[in-house]
A and B are shown apart, each in its own frame.
Chain A
Amino acid sequence: MVSPATAQELYKTDVTLCYPFIEAMVNTLKTQCSIAAKAGKPAFKEIQTEDRVEVFISATITTSTLLGSVTICFGKRIFLLLMGKMLGESYATITPELEDGAKELMNIVFNQAKKPLAVKGMAAIRSIPTIVFGENIRVRYLSRNQTIVLPFDTDIGPFSIEITTQEVSTSDKV
């Protein structure tokens, strides 16, 4: 059983990680895609929620004390519109070029978040990004802690970033 104080501490840790990604995403969309994104109120992801996504781009980040997972979740229509705005073209389907674009989006967001994270004492290493396209995908994180959902609203529609973290324990070392 986690004490309220510990739970609060874990929540704080997550939020510390969240803000750099919020700022990085808003700035990236504004600069690279001419999309004005408004960040909504962060919330814990409900395990029972029957939400489904069609595109998710995910990578883990590791600090000396923390393991984390950062995932950008889109519906297909939003993803195609966003990539279209980024590349100046219109897309009806997900092509290898857009897989490349998704990776670049993740790279830019992570690299922007890296510096403020380092300033907060969280020098992070990112894993190779994973991009999954499909239908009706249910995304769950096998974390010891809760997942935070960062909702964004834009003129092309909503999407979210999901972040989960846990402190490194001996069982995490391989």
Chain B
Amino acid sequence: MFPNDTSILIVDDMMTMRKLVKKALTTLGYSRIADAENGEVAFKKLQASISSGTPFQLVISDWNMPVMTGIELLRAVRALPQGKALPFILLTAESEKSQVIEALQAKVSGYVIKPFTAESLAEKMAAVHATTQAKTAAA
């Protein structure tokens, strides 16, 4: 599982959902949490965090957002040298198979369907962390 000092960026255009995710993460013991209201704002925050030497270590993003969607943000992050292995979880109400495939092709780390609980988010985070660790060890 991600350690409790993991720096996490929540991205969602709905204030309520940002709050819900933050509440779940706080319940799980995380406190280094920032948020952004769309992909564009999130990407700027990610770049700033990299520049400052304290990059975010996990992104949890909504799919459908104005300005820049979650999948567009994911592609932009993966295009960065520092973003290729960044754990990135998409959080969405959409459950169509075509979207899952699109997300996998864009190298998403995990996929959480709304509604979610702190426990289901924790399970996904644990799986993403394990996969990331395995990939890092193999590299």
Is A101 within 8 A of B116, CB to CB? no
Closest residue of chain B to A30 (Cβ to Cβ) is B115
Is B93 within 8 A of A101, CB to CB? no
- Which of A71-79, A102-110, A144-152 binds B? A102-110
Interface SS majority for chain B = loop
Is A87 within 8 A of B19, CB to CB? yes
- Which of B1-9, B10-18, B75-83, B122-130 binds A? B10-18
A69 adjacent to chain B (CB < 8 Å): no
B84 adjacent to chain A (CB < 8 Å): no
For the complex, give the distance between the alpha carbons of A27 and B117 in Å: 11
Closest residue of chain A to B114 (Cβ to Cβ) is A108
- Size bracket, chain A contacts: 10 to 19
Is A87 within 8 A of B115, CB to CB? no
Given the interface pairs A31-B117, A104-B14, A108-B114, the reply to whether A87 lies near B23 with Cβ below 8 Å is: yes
Within 8 A of B (CB), among A104-159: 104, 107-108, 111-112, 115
How far apart are B49's CB and chain A's nearest CB, in angstroms?
26
A10 adjacent to chain B (CB < 8 Å): no
Residues of B near A108 (CB, < 8 A) are 93, 114-115
A50 adjacent to chain B (CB < 8 Å): no
A4 adjacent to chain B (CB < 8 Å): no
Is B15 within 8 A of A111, CB to CB? no
For the complex, give the distance between the alpha carbons of A74 and B14 in Å: 21
B41 adjacent to chain A (CB < 8 Å): no
Is B23 within 8 A of A104, CB to CB? no
A28 adjacent to chain B (CB < 8 Å): yes
Within 8 A of A (CB), among B5-43: 14-17, 19-20, 23
Is A87 within 8 A of B117, CB to CB? no
Is A100 within 8 A of B115, CB to CB? no
Given the interface pairs A88-B23, A111-B93, A112-B93, the reply to whether A27 lies near B14 with Cβ below 8 Å is: no
Is A31 within 8 A of B116, CB to CB? yes
- Residues of A with Cβ closer than 8 Å to B? 27-28, 31-32, 86-88, 97, 100-101, 103-104, 107-108, 111-112, 115
Query: A28-B115, A32-B115, A32-B116 known; 15 other A-B pairs, CB under 8 Å?
Result: A31-B115, A31-B117, A32-B114, A32-B117, A87-B16, A87-B19, A97-B16, A97-B19, A100-B15, A103-B14, A104-B14, A111-B93, A111-B94, A111-B95, A115-B95
- Residues of B with Cβ closer than 8 Å to A? 14-17, 19-20, 23, 93-96, 114-117, 120
